Amino acid sequence: MVRVRFAPSPTGYPHLGNIRTALFNWAFARHNNGVFILRIEDTDVARLVEGAADVILDSLRWLGLDWDEGPYFQSQRLELYHKAVDQLLKQELAYRCYCSPQRLESMRQEQMKRKQPPGYDRHCRNLTREQKAEMEASGIIPVVRFMSPLEGQTFFNDLLRGQIIFENSTLDDFVILKSDGYPTYHLANIVDDHEMAISHVLRADEWLSSAPRHVLLYQAMGWQPPLFAHLPMILGTDRSKLGKRHGATAINEYQEQGYLPEAMFNFLVLLGWALDDKTEILTRDEIVKHFSLERISKTAAVFNKDKLDWMNGVYLRGLGLEEFVQRAMPFLGRDLPVEISRPLDTGYISQFMPLVQERARTLAEVPQLSDFFFVEELEYDADLLLGKIDKAEAVKGLQASIARVDGLQDWTATSLETVFRPLAEELGLKTGVFFGLLRVAVTGRTAAPPLFQTMEVLGRERCIKRLKSAIDKLER
């Protein structure tokens, strides 16, 4: 039975890398009809970020990474860890350490200065009974350290990278229980993974170095360790570990920026995993069907926003009109100028959304792509009207247009086109130039959806008003 877990710590908002790890775990579980467990590793009271756990849960829900068990909170399972610590203490596989943070700090400084590998000097490892009693009496609250073997090797088989071997002499006596009574990651992690019968630990590469500690702890507890696979990391553009200085990294920011969860899902799975030599767009079902550890790459991946944008556009265009409108609505409400009265008219919006849908790469672009459909007064620089023609020609063209269109029988894209094409010729203007003039007059910009379709949606009244206002602008 495959049982995997995603075990984030609520010390910050989940970034792309965290979520990609969650995604791989989820996909692995679903592919194997296994169980996906969510566990919040909130053992660092000092760095805990208010609300982070909720953001983590929301982000997972947003991407549809549903969990079968949990969320468990380690802060509510302290007895479990204390029990393990007691066992290790009793077996003399761990010991209390009374060293002050100051002593540890100066020890490290000294080691650095001498270019020695930093690590706990095992000062408290061999305290005499009397010394221990003395320390206890002094009122110092100790930490508990694991008694690492001084020689030999610790090894395990990483599912992705093969046999990994560490010299025990390079390991120090790491802390397993802090003085505030909370366990460290290392201890809590192995206790819970054992307790929850985790079969595979799929976690980021950054944990590889501490894996031998975990193996040692499993051995000390007399437990069978799970299988390990250390996943490649996701790096920033500068190839370093993802962090705040890389701009938007928290997954919820992408939601706010108008990325579709299904696009994000697809994009993220391809950061470190590939189906074959050409498939880029995969449905969630296809991913579940084909996902396998063997096809996970071993090298860290740089996050490429351009490709995400492209992929999001693909998904956006694949949406049905109604679906697209529904998804775009919150963004229109949020970003359209405040003067535009709400609630927005869905019927009207649905008329031009097909035009916008083809052009948007994110939902957040929808408002700026379509604001001229809403706004009463267009604001633009009159010079835009004068692309390749002079003022007189422009005014003449606009006046002729108004005259021609004022009494037009039916106001549709096709009928408008049959009016304006000949008019361009009459005016001696290339269609590109003439239509460009009209486009600016009607939309206030040089790049917009097809002119006549736009005019049809805008309606006669509004179009004529805008043509007139363009003349005003020129003559002002």
Catalytic site positions = 244
Q: Provide the strand spans (E) within 234-296.
A: 234-235
Q: What's the distance, CA 162 to chain centroid?
A: 29
Distance from C-alpha of 152 to C-alpha of 175, rounded to nearest angstrom: 21
Q: Provide the minimum distance between the beta carbon of 249 and RNA in the complex, in angstroms, as a whole number.
A: 13
Q: Provide the minimum distance between the beta carbon of 40 and RNA in the complex, in angstroms, as a whole number.
A: 9
Q: How many CB atoms lie within 10 A of CB 409?
A: 6
Residue 397 has which token pair? Answer: 């063209």
Q: Say whether residue 9 binds RNA (CB under 7 A).
A: yes
Q: Provide the minimum distance between the beta carbon of 58 and RNA in the complex, in angstroms, as a whole number.
A: 18
Q: Is the separation of the CB atoms in 325 and 346 below 8 Å? A: yes
From 43, 148, 362, 370, residue interacting with RNA (rule: CB under 7 A): 43
Q: Which is nearer to RNA, 130 or 238 (CB)?
A: 238
Q: Provide the H-helix boundaries in 151-239.
A: 185-195, 211-221
Q: Which is nearer to RNA, 30 or 213 (CB)?
A: 213
Cross-strand partners of 177: 144, 183
Using CB under 7 A, which residues numbered 378 to 417 contact RNA?
417
x/- mask, RNA, residues 83-122, rule CB under 7 A, reads: ----------------xxx--x---x------xxxxxx--
Distances (CA, A) of 29 to 26, 337, 380: 5, 45, 55
Q: Say whether residue 166 binds RNA (CB under 7 A).
A: yes
Q: Say whether residue 244 binds RNA (CB under 7 A).
A: no
Q: Is the separation of the CB atoms in 336 and 363 below 8 Å? A: no
Q: Say whether residue 350 binds RNA (CB under 7 A).
A: no
Q: What's the distance, CA 400 to chain centroid?
A: 53
Q: Say whether residue 7 binds RNA (CB under 7 A).
A: yes
Would you give the DSSP letter of residue 382?
G
Q: Which is nearer to RNA, 43 or 199 (CB)?
A: 43
Residue 408 has which token pair? Answer: 């037009």
The structure tokens 């049959």 sit at 418
Q: Say whether residue 138 binds RNA (CB under 7 A).
A: no
Distance from C-alpha of 67 to C-alpha of 57, rounded to nearest angstrom: 10
Using CB under 7 A, which residues numbered 48 to 87 contact RNA?
none
Q: Say whether residue 195 binds RNA (CB under 7 A).
A: no
Q: Say whether residue 168 binds RNA (CB under 7 A).
A: no
Would you give the DSSP letter of residue 250?
B
Q: Is the separation of the CB atoms in 154 and 168 below 8 Å? A: yes
Using CB under 7 A, which residues numbered 296 to 325 contact RNA?
297-302, 304, 306-307, 309-310, 313-314, 317
Q: Say whether residue 232 binds RNA (CB under 7 A).
A: yes
Using CB under 7 A, which residues numbered 258 to 297 contact RNA?
270-272, 274, 276-278, 280, 294-295, 297
Q: Say whether residue 156 binds RNA (CB under 7 A).
A: no
Q: Which is nearer to RNA, 297 or 333 (CB)?
A: 297
Q: Say whether residue 179 binds RNA (CB under 7 A).
A: yes
